Chains A and B, each alone.
Chain A
């Protein structure tokens, strides 16, 4: 099994007619994702390489039974795209777009939580998710992931997500689902959401978690792990040596006032029984040890 996404997921792309949306939408279809449509308010009735375009998410859902949407629209349009998808009853909305204002993120996160509790938001500013061999939604390169299991991956960083997939593939270890939650201030899906889903998934036997400096998401995850996780976990936190107050290219990656340091996060995770590597390769090796001992 996998979490959040599988071979039965029917996916639409909001922004399929734009160059980035088209590129990745078609790559996702090539991977085997069940791509059923795209949306554009003025291009209903057209198609992108045979993928029908609908006026909005509601029409797309009614015509295709879509339950997942992947959002590639530019940042100014993300808030209305997310609300449109939620109003259409889409169960999983994956926002790849980066550069969404934090005020917008805080607004639509809370709106969905209150008015659309059945819609899960992933992102913004995330690489998406892949259940290898079943479906790939977003910008992850599908061929660096080995299908099967027993490992689930959750990561706050894009390129380190790929690095983690690749490290495991090199060691011939399969992955149930790899979720990139993104590094923005208000991520729709948290580490804890993913950890809970992996804990409940019978095919996932171990979890790899990639964190970053800034915020307190890793510390909260550590608390959750201590109280709720029975499956073994390996982890890596990027930014161990980042100087305080410097913004490292991500909205999320900043250390302020001694809070959110990698050292504090690694300590919290170690205390929770997580095996923490000091670089991505080491975290991969620790996971190989965990898998060998399963």
Chain B
């Protein structure tokens, strides 16, 4: 789950990391009230799940209430790369002496936590990594050992920050590591981490991604679910508990298992079609799940054909076939359905489907045949 900046800052604040005084709102009057409270100048910042806010006019400095009102009303409703701004964050503007970068994430290859710290902050870390890799001080942390203050200090010294920032940086990095581990984050990033002229070190931005698998340890994370970026189709699928990703094409996809669903998307592309979605209905394929999946796909106006790709492992072919027939009785489909059913008891399953075959329900023996059929029907 990716957090918006303001959620990330609130998350950081609970671990004692210094962030600017501010608040989030969805309306202009409240924006001005927040600005009056935190003190001018303030920064008005669009809260969207996409980078490049500044260039798009989503981040503005306001020196007084009138400017705050103007910026807030301009930014609310702004379209930033397809993301409409619904929430803005108003914070007291900070004086900046220097900008740094700090983050923790999992290095899947090393199977250890990776800490990155750089004196070159405020720009994309990918750019720094490409142009000046030596400017990033990296450490790999064994999760069993954790991060000691001694190691953190050596790391900060290796990053060659302004020495005046060293104590503050060590303190923030220790807290950031705690937030990353105890908060079950996949990523905790501060860019920029700033040194103020007064010598304090401070998190001016927050990029946090939390592990949805750990929600049982943090029931409060349920609040972040509401601000996840989803289109209407994805929202409907999410409500039904389906693993769905919206794509742009015309062939609806239903498959059991993430790998098979990805593979189905691949094969549709390979035979010249465009998939409308990725949808994994998991190991089972009962009528309830199938009906929910068909409903979501049928409501997508771009869909012209539906490819159901099921491989029976433990789930048997006849159970899958019965599920499809029952689901068809519940959902009035606008597009033809092409089924490929293979694996355990596939013959029994196909025998159940046989009497129901029509120009709205077709069966093909292999994944490739079914993909070709679906694509030709979708292209009409």
Contacts and interface: CB of A to CB of B under 8 A. Distances in A.
A193 B244 CA distance: 32
A251 B263 CA distance: 16
Given A109-B111, A141-B344, A102 B258 contact: no
A24 B278 CA distance: 28
A157 B313 CA distance: 13
Nearest to B268: A241
Contact of B368 (A111, A144, A159, A281): A281
A220 B368 contact: no
Contacts of A200: none
A163 B184 CA distance: 34
B99 interface: no
B314 A241 contact: no
A216 B106 CA distance: 13
Nearest to A140: B313
Interface residues of B, number: 49
B260 A102 contact: no
A22 interface: no
Interface in B320-348: 342-344
B226 interface: no
Contacts of A262: 266
Interface in A62-112: 75-76, 99-103, 106-107, 109-111
Contact of A239 (B262, B311, B368): B262
Given A216-B109, A249-B280, A281 B262 contact: no
B245 A248 contact: yes
A268 interface: no
B111 to A, nearest CB: 5
B214 A280 contact: no
Given A141-B343, A163-B311, A278-B266, A215 B108 contact: yes
A101 B184 contact: yes
A249 B261 contact: yes
Interface string B342-363: 1110000000000000000000
B259 A279 contact: no
A43 interface: no
Residue from A75, A158, A163, A249 whose CB has the most chain B CB atoms within 10 Å: A249
A166 B342 contact: yes
Nearest to A211: B259
Given A101-B184, A141-B344, A281-B367, A159 B257 contact: yes
B257 A106 contact: no
B311 A242 contact: no
Top 6 A-B pairs, shortest CB-CB distance: A157-B259, A159-B257, A249-B258, A160-B259, A101-B214, A159-B260
Interface of B: 106, 108-109, 111-113, 126, 142-144, 181, 184, 186, 211, 213-214, 216-217, 243, 245, 247, 255-263, 265-267, 269-270, 275, 278, 280, 283, 311-314, 342-344, 366-368
Given A101-B184, A110-B143, A186-B106, 19 more contacts: A75-B213, A101-B211, A101-B213, A109-B111, A141-B344, A158-B259, A160-B259, A162-B313, A162-B343, A166-B311, A185-B106, A212-B258, A216-B109, A239-B262, A249-B243, A249-B258, A250-B258, A281-B366, A281-B368
